[in-house]
Amino acid sequence: MEVLQKRAREFDINLDDVSITHLEFSHEYLAAIESKQVAQQNAERAKFVVAIREQEMKAAVLRAQGEAEAATLVAEAISTHGPGLVAVRKIEASQHIAKVLQSSPNVTFLTGNTMNMINLGGGM
């Protein structure tokens, strides 16, 4: 501003304030700004992905620690009280499998009598 005021005084013009109303940058400069913004966005995205991966790793470690502790407790319970807990878990798993198979349209249950009616040997 001072340089502009000094230069205007040479022509007997006194400037109090200057407002730039229209400013246009070159295409190269605009492209450089845009590429810089894209690079910054990519860097932020990379930081976000790294942060997500770190949280996933922490969650996996905590999950593994929890499973290890659970396995230790189950082993202690089996050694102290016998294999009853394992038998209960097997029954629960079998019930869950039966419910899943029951709701599946692709599963057909055959009784022992039905098996005799199927010709598996193919002697026709």
Secondary structure (DSSP) of the chain: -HHHHHHHHTTT---S----------HHHHHHHHHHHHHHHHHHHHHHHHHHHHHHHHHHHHHHHHHHHHHHHHHHHHHHH-THHHHHHHHHHHHHHHHHHHH-TT-----HHHHHHS-SS---
Per-residue model confidence (pLDDT) at position 4: 84
Domain span at 75: 25-117
Give the amino acid at 105: P
pLDDT (tens, 9 = 90+) of the chain, 124 residues, equals 788 888 888 999 888 888 888 889 999 999 999 999 999 999 999 999 999 999 999 999 999 999 999 999 989 988 888 888 788 889 999 999 888 888 887 777 666 665 555 555 555 5
66-91 exposure pattern, b = at least 16 Cβ within 10 A, e = fewer: eeeeeeeeeeeeeeeeeeeeeeeeee
In a domain, 6, yes or no: no
In a domain, 102, yes or no: yes
Per-residue model confidence (pLDDT) at position 113: 61
Number of domains observed in the structure of the chain: 1
Please state, in angstroms and rounded to a whole number, the distance separating the CA atoms of residues 71 and 84.
15
Per-residue model confidence (pLDDT) at position 19: 85
Per-residue model confidence (pLDDT) at position 34: 96
pTM: 0.46
In a domain, 31, yes or no: yes
In a domain, 10, yes or no: no
Per-residue model confidence (pLDDT) at position 110: 65
Per-residue model confidence (pLDDT) at position 52: 97
